[in-house]
Amino acid sequence: MRLDQNSFTIRIASSPEDVAGAQRLRYRVFVEEMGAHTSPEDAALRLERDAFDAHFDHLVLIDEAARPQDPLDRVVGAYRLMRSDVARAGPGFYGQSEYDLSLLLDSPRASVELGRSCVHPDYRGGMAMHLLWSAVGEYVTRNDIEILFGVASFPGANPEPLAEPLSMLWQNHLAPPDLRVRTLPQHYVEMNRIPREQIDQKRAMLAVPSLIKAYLRLGGCVGDGAYCDHEFNTVDVCLVMDTGRMQSRYRDYYGRTEGILK
């Protein structure tokens, strides 16, 4: 599908309709594509939503040229973002149900939780994700964010078939101690499952989902332990990115984007 960048608007949701558009896209991706569970009420509306939505900033990518039957379907890319000051003031981070995030909550450095990242299947493969990442970069700059983190997922809730990529991530990309969040003890799934000498590094990386690879290219690293999310039918890892440690070419690029975020 050929895309014209000028046909897109990207903004922090400014209306209930914007948020509902993000939830509609999330339903399509997480429920219809990935098999996540949802309530009968949300299934009837085709929305994927939770109580945390009220506390997040919702980044939405809108195709202004699209003319779908339902206006909610004009949202073709989405992220939700929660700053640490918002988390501390009330709900906490969404990821606290899976990970001990006290290192980040107690830090004086400003952080933001990235979650529910998704792109409509017709818009995958380049520009849409580039626009979302550029907008995240501008958001980070505007809010003086130093640490970005969020859960990213492998499809399927069984860690056994993922032993090689999980081990590779732990062995090669484990976060430094000051950023090494850990899966809660009751949910902890060992990532380091195969000795290094038995891993085919190329094959392991090919098995890593594209979003996780994008975080790694930005200089991201993984927390200690995976989490099996049976509700969403995924195995999750927590990615953490320190803007001070990001590879300079990405930091410079995303740090200088201005004007894309409405």
Q: With contact defined as beta carbons under 8 Å apart, do 199 and 143 qualify?
A: no
Retrieve residue 153's tokens: 């997922």
pTM of the model: 0.88
What is the pLDDT, as a whole number, of residue 68?
Answer: 81
What single letter denotes the amino acid at residue 91? Answer: P
Q: Which of 83, 72, 135, 68 is nearest to 114 (CA)?
A: 83
d(CA 38, CA 57): 22
pLDDT (mean) for 51-77: 91
d(CA 179, CA 226): 16
What is the pLDDT, as a whole number, of residue 185?
Answer: 97
Would strands 99-100 and 182-183 be described as parallel, antiparallel, or unpaired?
Answer: antiparallel
| Statement: residue 199 has pLDDT above 80 | yes
User: 3 in helix, strand or coil?
Assistant: coil
Q: Which of 85, 150, 139 is nearest to 115 (CA)?
A: 150
Helical H segments across the chain, by residue range: 16-26, 40-45, 84-89, 102-105, 127-142, 163-173, 201-206, 210-217, 248-255
Burial of 14 (0-12, 13-18, 19+ CB in 10 A): exposed
pLDDT (mean) for 81-102: 94
| Statement: residue 119 has pLDDT above 60 | yes
pLDDT tens-place string over residues 2-36 = 445 678 899 999 999 999 999 999 999 999 998 88
d(CA 232, CA 241): 24
Q: With contact defined as beta carbons under 8 Å apart, do 168 and 199 qualify?
A: yes
φ, ψ of residue 53 to 5 degrees: the values are -55, -35
Q: Minimum mean pLDDT among 3-17, 108-122, 163-177: which range?
A: 3-17
Delimit the domains of the chain by residue range.
Answer: 5-255
pLDDT band at 128 (very low <50, low <70, confident <90, very high): confident
What is the pLDDT, as a whole number, of residue 1?
Answer: 38
Considering the segment(s) 5-255 as one domain, its CATH architecture is 3-Layer(aba) Sandwich (3.40)
What is the pLDDT, as a whole number, of residue 255?
Answer: 54
